[in-house]
Structure 1
Amino acid sequence: MRSHHVSRVIAATPDAVYEFASDVDNLPRWAAGLARADVLRDGDALLVESPMGRVVVRFVERNAFGILDHDVTLPSGTVVTNPVRVLAHPDGAEVVFTVRQIELDDAEFDRDIETVAADLDRLADLLRSTA
């Protein structure tokens, strides 16, 4: 299994980035690779219509460390853990997302990396427009 880290520097404070990105109601606004429509809540699980079909997402509890790790249960039943960090950066914040090659061929893995990069670009644009 390969991993690839995708990061974006965002011109906003780490707290502002974390607050926006951790609000699951904002997922369809910036995380098109994961959520294409409103998120449905089922206890601590989120039911999400994604490009892969319906998936179940579970985020770590809100925390003071900028950790946005989440498990995605794919339609196949495979669980993919996605490590995500919001870090302080001299120009604001940096979001680092680790993409893992699970159930993906090389071309699909490359597309997944591109999708995550586009999602982080969208997040940066949204936060820039609200700053």
Structure 2
Amino acid sequence: MSAHDNSRDTYLRSIRRARRRAELRSDETQHLIDESRRLIEQSHQILKRVKPGKNPRSGHLTRTDSCEGPSHAKRERELQLQAAKEFRVQFLMNETGITEAQARELVGMIGLDASSLLREARLLRKNK
């Protein structure tokens, strides 16, 4: 085997590895897209339960809860927050490879700030 054949084989192996990595990233990206679509659909379902109304003081159009009451509005906010937290957990797991429990703990401690979550998740994975 000549040096030329050896370098050609090395080049072909590196091409194959790059293709495999691209395929894995493509699968991860598709999973994130599917998860985003699911969360968007969930948000649309929440918004369908909200009807437009008028603010009695100003007369401007506002959004009022269809069930009329502060407890229902609070429940809607909780559902939206829960969906956002779940999205961040899935995102951290897919992006950094940390476990679901670790991702949930980070979201609980830090909140929803994506850059802070990513930084801490990467540090957590690195120290593993």
Relative to the length of structure 2, the TM-score reads 0.29
**Rg larger in 1 or in 2?**
2
Higher relative contact order (CA 8 A, sep 6+): 1
